[in-house]
Structure 1
Amino acid sequence: MPRILITTDYLRPGDDVDQYLREHGHTTVHLPMTGRRDPEELAAALDGIDAALVANEPLTAEVLSRASGLRAIVRTGVGYDSIDIDTAGKLGITVSNLPGINANAVAEYTMGLLLATARRLVQSAVGVAVGGWPREDGHELRGSTLGLIGYGAAARALIPLAQAFGMGVLCTTNVPAAQRTDDPLVRFVDLPELLSTADYISVHTALTKRTRGLLDASAFRRMKPTAVLVNTARGAVVDEQALADAVRTGQIAAAALDVVNEEPLTADSPLRNVDGITVFSHLAGQTAEARAAAGLEGAAEAVAALAGHPRFAVNTHLLPHTRPARVDG
């Protein structure tokens, strides 16, 4: 009977996902990820496991090389940069994500960050909590320009929300023109133009070698001094020291970050204690609706992958062979 390790923290023994997997003939092993996990512990947890439903576990080459029976990994979300897909491919392990599974949740959350930053909601609430009564002016979103870095499902879901608030929308993307939605209200531009034109810049790109550190000191120098950065994608897209310097010196106005390079935020992070930078705890995709959908869709993908028919594998081009099923003895 195939064994499936579940590390996504909101999936629990006896829930719908657990029942689905058991009804399909699988044994489940729950080891919720609630913080940083030692690689040795993770490697040990994968011993004798056929498939894994994971959150942001660091599935490195060292860890994967020790998971001799592992045949499939399913990320219960969109980003999969924490998984070494090259090594997984060489070992015959399929890696899947769930594209678009939390797009609506991320879009609504991003809109919330835009509103909160424009109207200084966090600063007001904190001020009241410590005995003050802050009354600084905020800004309206109407008439401003939103720049989207990336054109994935979350960015596309954000566009109509931004337009409903009267914002103009720019987008920079590597998606070929033939594959873009025909939307005359979105203007596609290159990154330098977006940086210099947008009032609010929202990051929705995957973390790759090309995008790691994409928003660095030179990028912030291009931006307006009144510009606001919002990041709900991956922390490492932003050079955090450069961002802290840019906000502290007034090169840009503010930043609202749902993701950081190392999570939870470290005590020595350059993002701490910078007036104008607000860090949240990676909540963009965390709604009850998105979690329910991701859990069940992830379980279905794990079942399909173990049957040799993954629907959302991101590394099929790297698979030289397929591991034989483990025989229980």
Structure 2
Amino acid sequence: MNWNVLVTSRSFGTVGSEAVNILKAANIHVDYIQASEFERCIEQYDALIIGAHEFTSDIMRRCNKLKIICKHGAEIDNIPIKTAQEMGITVTNAPGVNANPVADLAFGLLLTIARQIAYTNKIIHMGQWKTATGTDIYGKTLGLLGFGSIGKNMAKRAKGFDMKVLAYDLYVNELSYEYSHVKLCGLHEVLQCSDFVSLHLPLTPNTNQLISHSAISKMKKGSYLINTAKGEIIDEYALYEALASGHLAGAAVDVCAVEPIHAESPLLTLDNFIITPHIGVYTKEAIASVSRICAKNIAAKLCGGSIEFSVTDTKL
């Protein structure tokens, strides 16, 4: 039997041919579309490989052929899981694959904003050769909000800089020996005592705009904020005010509340604000791995086999 899979993820199969070949070998036809065309044609497909765009319950309820949704990544907040469970649609993701790439980027952003790397590069390109004074990282305190796989990898990187690490995570109660340099503590202590605060939390009703005016006011004067998690965790106007006033020395983010960021955002007028276009998982190795997981799960669902990383535990 022939099956059809729709791909809306921009990066699926862009590194190597293994993932696409897995689907072809299982007689699964692959179509690629832009997310803007998704609602028009999704009802025709047996399987979906989805990126970060929204998939509403109303649209899903029209998808009588759909048997499996594979998130090309780890976060599944854009997929209505309850509706999928009601309809018997399997939903999978690829947890852990992005842990090292995102931690690499987060620590890279920390280095970049602290040592004025992006700013000095920009002014040299503008024809100015002048120095800028940065901040030491070695021996400072790194605060981690969220201590899952990415947060843990950040802690490992911080150890090489002899940083003290404070971590806030409601679901972590004890630490193994390899994290002996990490102290679990409350949110306020992390904010008040850290020279650098890095966000690694999922987006939930409790974390939406967690970094508010009030939270930022508790942060050390002259500290830095890093966000490679979800843009909605930060109140962006509060961030702008803190950066413009000098309360925060700098912020570096890979995400924002609305992507792409609005061209008129006041944050873009600030030299102490760095933004990258949501590239945390965009390494060749991570893309190839996530694509392979998605392809294998679709082939297993449609043709028979073992599915990995199901978040719905439904059966065909």
Give the alignment's TM-score, normalised by structure 1: 0.89
1:181 aligns with 176
> Within 2, Cα distance between the matches of 1:239 and 1:315?
32
Which residue of 306, 309, 312 corresponds with 1:315? Answer: 312
1:29-40 superposed matches below 5 A: 29-31=31-33, 33=34, 37-38=35-36
Change (3 A) 1:150 1:305: farther
Contact 2:119 2:271 in 1 (8 A): no
> Within 2, Cα distance between the matches of 1:76 and 1:103?
14
1:250 aligns with 246
**1:158, CA displacement in angstroms?**
1.7
> Within 2, Cα distance between the matches of 1:302 and 1:134?
54
Residue 10, structure 1, aligned to residue 11, structure 2: yes
Change (3 A) 1:209 1:308: farther
Which residue of 237, 261, 278 corresponds with 1:241? Answer: 237
Q: Tell me the SS of whatever aligns to 1:253.
A: strand
Q: Tell me the SS of whatever aligns to 1:261.
A: coil
Instruction: Give the partner amino acid of 2:49.
Output: L
> Within 2, Cα distance between the matches of 1:201 and 1:176?
18
**1:12, CA displacement in angstroms?**
4.6
Contact 1:4 1:28 in 2 (8 A): yes
**1:54, CA displacement in angstroms?**
1.4
> Within 2, Cα distance between the matches of 1:53 and 1:69?
15
**1:270, CA displacement in angstroms?**
4.1
> Within 1, Cα distance between the matches of 2:261 and 2:202?
20
> Within 2, Cα distance between the matches of 1:171 and 1:181?
14
Contact 2:22 2:299 in 1 (8 A): no
**1:104, CA displacement in angstroms?**
1.1
Contact 1:147 1:202 in 2 (8 A): yes
Give the alignment's TM-score, normalised by structure 2: 0.92
**1:131, CA displacement in angstroms?**
1.2
1:13-92 superposed matches below 5 A: 15-31=17-33, 33=34, 37-38=35-36, 41-92=37-88
2:151 aligns with 155
1:285-300 superposed matches below 5 A: 285-300=281-296
Instruction: Give the partner amino acid of 2:134.
Output: G
**1:251, CA displacement in angstroms?**
2.1
**1:52, CA displacement in angstroms?**
0.9
Residue 282, structure 1, aligned to residue 278, structure 2: yes
Superposed CA deviations along residues 74-117 of structure 1, whole A, max 9, x for unmatched, are 11111122222232223222222111111111111111111111
Q: Tell me the SS of whatever aligns to 1:177.
A: coil
Contact 1:148 1:170 in 2 (8 A): yes
RMSD: 1.9
Residue 146, structure 1, aligned to residue 147, structure 2: no
Q: Structure 2 regions of 5+ residues with no counterpart?
A: none
Q: Tell me the SS of whatever aligns to 1:142.
A: coil
1:327 aligns with none
> Within 2, Cα distance between the matches of 1:28 and 1:289?
22
1:120 aligns with 116
Contact 1:212 1:238 in 2 (8 A): yes
Instruction: Give the partner amino acid of 2:249.
Output: A
Which residue of 193, 197, 200 corresponds with 1:197? Answer: 193
> Within 2, Cα distance between the matches of 1:90 and 1:248?
48
Q: Structure 1 regions of 5+ residues with no counterpart?
A: 325-329
Q: Tell me the SS of whatever aligns to 1:170.
A: strand
> Within 2, Cα distance between the matches of 1:116 and 1:53?
34
> Within 1, Cα distance between the matches of 2:138 and 2:31?
50
Q: Tell me the SS of whatever aligns to 2:268.
A: coil
Question: Would you say how many aligned residue pairs link Structure 1 and Structure 2?
Answer: 312
Q: Tell me the SS of whatever aligns to 2:19.
A: helix
> Within 1, Cα distance between the matches of 2:266 and 2:86?
37
Instruction: Give the partner amino acid of 1:96.
Output: T
Change (3 A) 1:89 1:10: same
Instruction: Give the partner amino acid of 1:95.
Output: V
Q: Which moved more, 1:117-126 or 1:11-20?
A: 11-20
1:95-114 superposed matches below 5 A: 95-114=91-110
Identity, in percent, stands at 32
Which residue of 220, 223, 227 corresponds with 1:224? Answer: 220
Q: Tell me the SS of whatever aligns to 1:169.
A: strand
